[in-house]
Chains A and B, each alone.
Chain A
């Protein structure tokens, strides 16, 4: 091969080099924690906090985000995009209601609706009444002031309170977990949707959505829906994105090895004592990292053995480390001589 001379050398401790290459620029990250993506007010966590979040393999990102593209035939139409956005945006009763007044005497709940918010969500009071009736089996009626009166079929005040909170939180419209969807326009004049939540499965089923190009920053969502290999790519993409945003150049190979290490066990593991380090076989590797006493105590009680295979314990004993030049096992000619002599002797 032509590029043979540019290949890595066998033995190269690429894990350590990757760790250094990501850790070293950490201090250079721009201090801004939040970042406004475009004109729309979608804030996302960026920089070091986001990097830590990815490597911690948090179950949910602090600022979830989906980028949803429309099918080609719809992409140029603002109306279609708006329609889709309103289909996606979660609207809960509390979003369109000013307050809920519980009337314990008459065993009913009065919901004062926010006319403006209702208009923005493109809903009518009677629509809501219908939804609530269907969902909760409670009787709902619209007052003259176009507010709602709900009659739940429960008696106790505590149950009525419970009912009113549940009703306020109930989803009237949109896709569970999808958050707020906002329409934006890209350089090519195509409209796309940015949303502050995550639910790929449901969004993919929507008709006007280009299912292949949905992007989410939630790694676990990707893992649940598409599996580990996809999660590995999701981690890689998010790492690349986070670092590029900061104007830091880190070779992709370093990021790949992190993503691969996090997913090598078949699920998504974090970088830290609950993830990769905690799962190490070597007692000393774990003890030298964190929770020293706990690891030593457990090792003693179960009678564990450390086979001196990892880097950490070899450093503890002052031995050569089993990576890099230390990984090379040379057979010295002297050995061979002795062997021959032995054979002769026999």
Chain B
């Protein structure tokens, strides 16, 4: 068994079993189309013959003597009285038949072509460049079916027709499987090689079956229901069918039944064998279970998303993992993960005992408090559970070479993951911090790469076991090294929402703190010093923030007339906003470039934590008062709305009178629509101005949130306090879909073009929407929900295709991109060999 270890696999060769090989492989000839006898014992030579392996505990395999789980199972075979075609191969059989002479069975190529073929094939074998010629080769084989006269024996070729799934006709005559087998077996090995077939493992006559391989019972276990009733696997059912028909066919042949009856049964046998391999073969009805459910046969087991390949082989289940709900915790570092005690006590990490750490190992074994030893693995691979009863004995036997599995402890490296894992930063390495409670705790700054929130999201945790895996996690996957997204190099582990509003308020020009406030904030960042006093007994907010910055940092950013300047690690000018500390932050790029990722990580953690605290201190809150605008704003709103209605009315009038001058390249109606839309756009931007004019962030947290970029915008304030404005349809235009009387809703008048007829809402959330307004609003919302569903399915498939196409490409030491076969994709990665996560260090943006 040792040689079958996965490491030993160098290549996998495909081929077809010959009848002889099947018989050699088989441990039992199956003849009885039944499973158990009345006593509930497997019938000898039946489909569950005990030589085929055991699955029930307690029984012993009659072939290898192994018990259940030890015995891998053994193959049996069925001898079919008449051969049948393996339907999955029928297309290849057709290709072979039409490519060879019907009389002499040579390939239908003349000698000259054969020589040409040989040269090309040899080239391909040596992996020489021959792309153009290979195409010719394939086409040549396809063209063989049109050759009417054999170039070797000169025989005229009759018309060969193939009809799915297993019917072949030569002229009008139907070809029986044994006739086909005769034809195939006469094709020479030399000719098969020309067709690209390795005859040593895949002789074509083996594609016609007279011996059928019966899989071991382990492959098709029977299930015992609670009632004591036995339920057999679909494959067993199918094999029973095959045996039954085989038996009947044999009886009829022996009894000398008329040919027509024999042919019918033969046909039926073919059907059962065909559906045994693939129950979705086109052209024939699927075999069904008694209940009417289609049977799941061999092909169905392998195919598709839930098939063996994608479900069990490409994706695997793992041990040493945990899953629970996540919640946010600003008091742990970004690169930590809070692990519940119960989980920490259940997960284990191997501790490799050596002569240098044997004392530590002893302590671990002695400990009755977590983290304690759970198992001891002896050098022979035996795993012993550490119990109070054998603890002393294990301590005595402790020796280098043993492995102790100990419980998770603070500081262990683990992998944290949230699905869907759309990019590599969906899995990152965190340091364990054991906490009370039953949820995983995550610093909110590290939520963005996972796309996580806390409305019930669950996440997975994996404990790398080998030292190699732990080292790899630590050096490649740690959170501190993932701050910049591989997609575009923009910072993705940043402050968000609460952190930003807090730092925004803290770093405003007008913010001063008392000594108590300043010490409280800085203590959260483990800073024991205070900045210099600004006024008497008061500390400047910007100075407090500066304490968090790495010493000696230089940074400057200009955006319009807004300047943000840090020199020598002190914030001289500007206020922290989303564009400074949020997603895509260039400040973080500067820190990473001037210092290192550890400094960067500490800055993000500390700044965000101080931000949360100051937001609390400042009492950030939103109430209805944020949205009650004064009379003047209300009047201005009415003014701009009525002006807009007037303008639109004017355009509509002009249009109806035919006076509207169409814009370049449009019809008058399209021009009218564009003019109206432009008018609606203007009214929205005017509303924005009103909001900015009357709502001041000093007295309004909604505005402070909007200005800092923490959450929301002036548009949200407009919606709540002024009016909703135009509701867009998915086409991007106004809403037109509705009744044939040219109106969107029955409450509207037909054929109107005005703003309110096609989705303009002049009501707001504060006063509430009118029914027709609500429907217009819901219109867009519903469409976007439906589209989102369609979009995720489509983009999911696109992603799958992309990853399957490109998963093998990697960078060589010369920075070229190749696949493992050595095929060149790019001579220098990306043209310049620059790592996308570091582009922002190089380029200015």
* A contact set with B: CB distance below 8 Å: 3, 5-27, 29, 31-36, 39-41, 48, 51-52, 55, 182-185, 249-254, 256-258, 260-261, 264-266, 271-272, 275-277, 281, 283-285, 287-289, 292-293, 296-313, 315-319, 322-325, 327
Given contacts A14-B810, A253-B834, A300-B14, 13 further A-B contacts (CB under 8 A): A26-B794, A34-B732, A39-B666, A41-B666, A48-B791, A185-B664, A253-B836, A271-B805, A284-B12, A288-B313, A309-B820, A311-B820, A322-B808
How many angstroms from the CA of A292 to the CA of B838 in the assembled complex?
39
A3 to B, closest residue via Cβ: B842
How many angstroms from the CA of A330 to the CA of B706 in the assembled complex?
55
Q: Nearest 3 pairs between A and B by C-beta?
A: A303-B198, A23-B799, A15-B809
How many angstroms from the CA of A293 to the CA of B826 in the assembled complex?
33
From the candidates B201, B303, B670, B804, name the one contacting A303 in the complex (CB within 8 A): B201
The smallest beta-carbon distance between A216 and chain B, in angstroms, is 20
0 or 1 for each of B185-200: is its CB under 8 Å from A? (1 = yes) = 0000000000011111
How many angstroms from the CA of A316 to the CA of B311 in the assembled complex?
11
Chain B residues, CB < 8 A from A34: 731-732
| Residues of B1-58 whose CB lies within 8 A of A | 6-7, 9-16
Chain B residues, CB < 8 A from A322: 808, 820
From the candidates A3, A256, A310, name the one contacting B831 in the complex (CB within 8 A): A256
CB pair B829 A14 closer than 8 Å: yes
From the candidates B16, B424, B826, name the one contacting A260 in the complex (CB within 8 A): B826
The smallest beta-carbon distance between A95 and chain B, in angstroms, is 16
0 or 1 for each of B263-302: is its CB under 8 Å from A? (1 = yes) = 0000000000000001000000000000000000001001
Q: Known contacts being A308-B11, A317-B9, is A292 close to B307, with CB within 8 Å?
A: yes
A-B contact pairs, 18 of them (CB 8 A): A6-B835, A7-B834, A11-B810, A13-B807, A14-B817, A15-B807, A15-B808, A21-B488, A22-B798, A22-B802, A26-B794, A35-B732, A39-B665, A251-B489, A257-B825, A300-B202, A305-B12, A318-B6
CB pair B806 A297 closer than 8 Å: no
B13 to A, closest residue via Cβ: A305
The smallest beta-carbon distance between A256 and chain B, in angstroms, is 6
The smallest beta-carbon distance between A317 and chain B, in angstroms, is 5
CB pair A253 B829 closer than 8 Å: yes
How many angstroms from the CA of A87 to the CA of B13 in the assembled complex?
62
The smallest beta-carbon distance between A18 and chain B, in angstroms, is 6
From the candidates B197, B732, B813, B825, name the one contacting A301 in the complex (CB within 8 A): B197
CB pair B664 A40 closer than 8 Å: yes
How many angstroms from the CA of A264 to the CA of B816 in the assembled complex?
13
* B contact set with A: CB distance below 8 Å: 6-7, 9-16, 88-89, 92, 131, 196-202, 204, 207, 278, 299, 302-304, 307, 309-310, 313-314, 316, 422-424, 472, 476, 486-490, 663-666, 670, 674, 730-732, 783-784, 787-788, 791-792, 794-796, 798-813, 815, 817, 819-821, 823-826, 829-831, 833-836, 838-839, 841-842
CB pair B304 A292 closer than 8 Å: yes
Chain B residues, CB < 8 A from A20: 422-424, 486-487, 799, 803
Chain B residues, CB < 8 A from A317: 6, 9
CB pair B805 A272 closer than 8 Å: yes
Chain B residues, CB < 8 A from A276: 805-806
Q: Known contacts being A13-B810, A271-B802, is A183 close to B14, with CB within 8 Å?
A: no
CB pair A319 B7 closer than 8 Å: yes
Chain A residues, CB < 8 A from B788: 27, 31
CB pair A256 B830 closer than 8 Å: yes
CB pair B806 A258 closer than 8 Å: yes
How many angstroms from the CA of A309 to the CA of B813 in the assembled complex?
18
CB pair B197 A303 closer than 8 Å: yes
How many angstroms from the CA of A258 to the CA of B489 in the assembled complex?
18
CB pair B826 A257 closer than 8 Å: yes
Q: Known contacts being A257-B825, A258-B806, is A293 close to B487, with CB within 8 Å?
A: no
The smallest beta-carbon distance between A79 and chain B, in angstroms, is 14
CB pair A8 B834 closer than 8 Å: yes
How many angstroms from the CA of A61 to the CA of B653 in the assembled complex?
40
Q: Known contacts being A14-B811, A41-B666, A303-B200, is A26 close to B6, with CB within 8 Å?
A: no
CB pair B807 A305 closer than 8 Å: no
CB pair A8 B835 closer than 8 Å: yes
CB pair A261 B730 closer than 8 Å: no
The smallest beta-carbon distance between A269 and chain B, in angstroms, is 9
CB pair B316 A318 closer than 8 Å: yes
CB pair B802 A23 closer than 8 Å: yes
CB pair A261 B830 closer than 8 Å: no
CB pair B314 A292 closer than 8 Å: no
How many angstroms from the CA of A71 to the CA of B554 in the assembled complex?
49
CB pair A316 B309 closer than 8 Å: yes
CB pair B821 A309 closer than 8 Å: yes
From the candidates A52, A296, A304, A324, name the one contacting B798 in the complex (CB within 8 A): A52
How many angstroms from the CA of A275 to the CA of B812 in the assembled complex?
24
Main DSSP-derived SS at the B contact region: mixed
Q: Known contacts being A14-B817, A35-B732, A277-B804, is A250 close to B487, with CB within 8 Å?
A: yes
Chain B residues, CB < 8 A from A300: 14-16, 89, 202
CB pair A182 B791 closer than 8 Å: no
Chain B residues, CB < 8 A from A319: 6-7, 9
CB pair B202 A302 closer than 8 Å: yes
CB pair B805 A23 closer than 8 Å: no
How many angstroms from the CA of A11 to the CA of B476 in the assembled complex?
13
The smallest beta-carbon distance between B206 and chain A, in angstroms, is 10
Q: Known contacts being A258-B802, A302-B202, is A3 close to B732, with CB within 8 Å?
A: no
CB pair B9 A265 closer than 8 Å: no
Q: Known contacts being A256-B826, A301-B207, is A285 close to B836, with CB within 8 Å?
A: no
Q: Known contacts being A10-B815, A39-B666, A292-B307, is A316 close to B314, with CB within 8 Å?
A: yes
CB pair B665 A23 closer than 8 Å: no
The smallest beta-carbon distance between A191 and chain B, in angstroms, is 10
How many angstroms from the CA of A302 to the CA of B206 in the assembled complex?
12
From the candidates B10, B88, B732, B817, name the one contacting A32 in the complex (CB within 8 A): B732
CB pair A6 B13 closer than 8 Å: no
The smallest beta-carbon distance between A290 and chain B, in angstroms, is 8
Chain B residues, CB < 8 A from A40: 664-666
How many angstroms from the CA of A293 to the CA of B282 in the assembled complex?
14
CB pair A303 B809 closer than 8 Å: no
Chain A residues, CB < 8 A from B486: 17, 20-21
CB pair A41 B670 closer than 8 Å: yes
Chain B residues, CB < 8 A from A313: 12
CB pair B11 A306 closer than 8 Å: yes
The smallest beta-carbon distance between A268 and chain B, in angstroms, is 13
From the candidates A5, A21, A327, name the one contacting B810 in the complex (CB within 8 A): A327
A42 to B, closest residue via Cβ: B665
How many angstroms from the CA of A26 to the CA of B797 in the assembled complex?
10
How many angstroms from the CA of A251 to the CA of B840 in the assembled complex?
11
Chain A residues, CB < 8 A from B10: 307-308
Chain B residues, CB < 8 A from A318: 6, 316
Q: Known contacts being A288-B309, A303-B202, A306-B11, is A19 close to B314, with CB within 8 Å?
A: no
A269 to B, closest residue via Cβ: B805
CB pair B842 A51 closer than 8 Å: no
Chain B residues, CB < 8 A from A31: 730, 783-784, 787-788, 791
Q: Known contacts being A8-B829, A249-B488, is A261 close to B809, with CB within 8 Å?
A: yes
A262 to B, closest residue via Cβ: B805
How many angstroms from the CA of A79 to the CA of B719 in the assembled complex?
46
Q: Known contacts being A249-B490, A293-B278, A309-B820, is A283 close to B806, with CB within 8 Å?
A: no
CB pair B802 A306 closer than 8 Å: no
CB pair B811 A11 closer than 8 Å: yes
Q: Known contacts being A51-B798, A271-B802, A292-B302, is A15 close to B817, with CB within 8 Å?
A: yes
The smallest beta-carbon distance between A59 and chain B, in angstroms, is 18
Chain A residues, CB < 8 A from B841: 6
How many angstroms from the CA of A64 to the CA of B808 in the assembled complex?
33
The smallest beta-carbon distance between A318 and chain B, in angstroms, is 5
The smallest beta-carbon distance between A119 and chain B, in angstroms, is 15
Chain A residues, CB < 8 A from B89: 297, 300-301
The smallest beta-carbon distance between B166 and chain A, in angstroms, is 14
A34 to B, closest residue via Cβ: B731
